[in-house]
Amino acid sequence: MTLKNLVFLSLALFSINLKGQEVFKDSLKLSIRQADSLFILQNVSLLAEKCNINSAKAQIIQAKLFSNMTISATQNVINTEYQTNGGRKWLDMTDKGESSAQIQKLFRLAGKRNKQIQIAELTASREEQVYFDLLRTLKYSLRSGFYNLYYLRQIIGVYDREIASMHKLIDGYQRQFEKGFISKKELLRLRSALFSLENEKIGFTTQVISTQNDFNVMMHTSNIYYLPQFDAGSLMKLSPDNLKLQALIDTAFVHRHDLKMAQSDLSINRANLAYQKSLAVPDLTLSAGWDKNGGFIHNYNFIGMQIDLPFFNRNQGNIKSARYNLESSQYKLKSAEDIVKSDVLGAYANAVETNQLYTKFDNTFMTDLETLNQEMLNNFEKKNISLIEFLDYYDAYKENAVQLNTLLYNRINAFENLNFSVGKDIITQ
């Protein structure tokens, strides 16, 4: 690759990086607590689910309503005997015409109304569990993205410092090359290293842009560049060592809302089976009415009742279907319990393993490495070490810095995953 091509590619990568950042017109510093609060207030998915809760609660009001009474009235249009019997030909409302009125009221038997109310209440409770489970899931995504943004920016900071040093070094070498003090090969080797750094940095910058976009979606904002702020030192004190696995599982059984959803489904299907059985009992309709000339006497008054005879349809199919739905929900509840146990076990093991790896790490290592990095740069400028030695060390420093920040992110993310699996903040700042 020629020197001209290397310069062009480096400038192109730098231009792409700038354009990626220009997409975000505003920046906002926020803590994890501020992020949680804004997210709950503004997230569109949560707001939509709140509407579903209110809709389900409205169904409770509907289930509590009694059925309306029905009133009917009739009036003869043409009196064909008005010439012989008297009265009026059209719409005869006199004593010679025919008029009638009736009122009916349906009475639901076998506790159908109370059973419908119970189903509506259980359904509303389930919608609340859906909301809290969605909150749990989105909150984990939010916090994971929050910490990911922070540590990605730390990694990009490492690249920025190395790239700035490399630019300064190349400028000096360019002047020496023009004076004939160094070979073109050494200058090309440095520019190649710079190109690799720029190219690698673009990969992390792309991750930042993607995570920023996800953050804006969750916050229901646009074109805001979020800058996570927190005391990284406070995270060092966090540890899962004092937690007990069985206690975490017991806590998850109380706080996992997806498990509560499965429990609600079981309760709903149990209530629905009782309701379907009650539908086998016919409802009763009572009526009262008056008929002017249509009965065996003038001004006939009557009361009546109506009820279906359950000889053929006793709701057998719906009852059988409700039984299978109840049995299915029992199996799904057992499956949900198994999933909760597995999630907590996996998250706990991952948190312990990641934390143990972190505790083995010497916190002064990166500080010493940065000091040594500056010394290596000074020694290279003074020609005390070769180009290959310098580039090898520079690459080793960069890799260690990236791995450290990755480890720090994986550790805090493992803690958040443990909170997510338990359904409650067990490890917090």
Instruction: State how many domains the chain has.
Output: 1
Question: Closest Cα partner for 341 from 259, 224, 424?
Answer: 259
Cβ contacts of residue 381 below 8 Å, gap of 6+? Answer: 169, 172
Residue 189 lies in a domain: yes
pTM of this prediction?
A: 0.85
Residue 124 lies in a domain: yes
E strands, 246-358, are 284-291, 300-307
Whole-angstrom distance, CA of residue 248 vs CA of residue 344: 7
Confidence band (pLDDT; 50, 70, 90) for 174?
confident
Residue 307 lies in a domain: no
**At 8, which CATH number?**
1.20.1600.10
Residue 297 lies in a domain: no
DSSP 8-state secondary structure symbol assigned to residue 222: S
For 116, 136, 414, the CA distances from 239, given in Å and listed in that order, are 49, 21, 11
Question: Closest Cα partner for 131 from 26, 197, 47, 42?
Answer: 47
Whole-angstrom distance, CA of residue 199 vs CA of residue 348: 37
- Provide the residue range defining the domain that includes 54: 3-67+112-277+317-422
Residue 104 lies in a domain: no
Query: For residue 6, with 0-12 CB atoms within 10 Å meaning exposed, 13-18 middle and 19 or more buried, which class applies?
Result: middle
Instruction: Give 126-153 pLDDT, tens digit per residue.
Output: 999 999 999 999 999 999 999 999 999 9
Residues 170 and 163: beta-carbon distance below 8 Å:
no
Instruction: Give 342-396 pLDDT, tens digit per residue.
Output: 999 999 999 999 999 998 876 677 677 777 777 877 777 777 777 888 788 888 8
Neighbours of 137 (CB within 10 A): 14
- What type of residue sits at position 71? I
For tokens 């008056």, the residue is 290
Residue 261 lies in a domain: yes
Question: Closest Cα partner for 74 from 51, 53, 50, 93?
Answer: 93
Residue 45 lies in a domain: yes
Residue 85 lies in a domain: no
Instruction: Give 233-269 pLDDT, tens digit per residue.
Output: 788 888 998 999 999 999 999 999 999 999 999 999 9
Cβ contacts of residue 88 below 8 Å, gap of 6+? Answer: 79, 82, 94, 96, 97
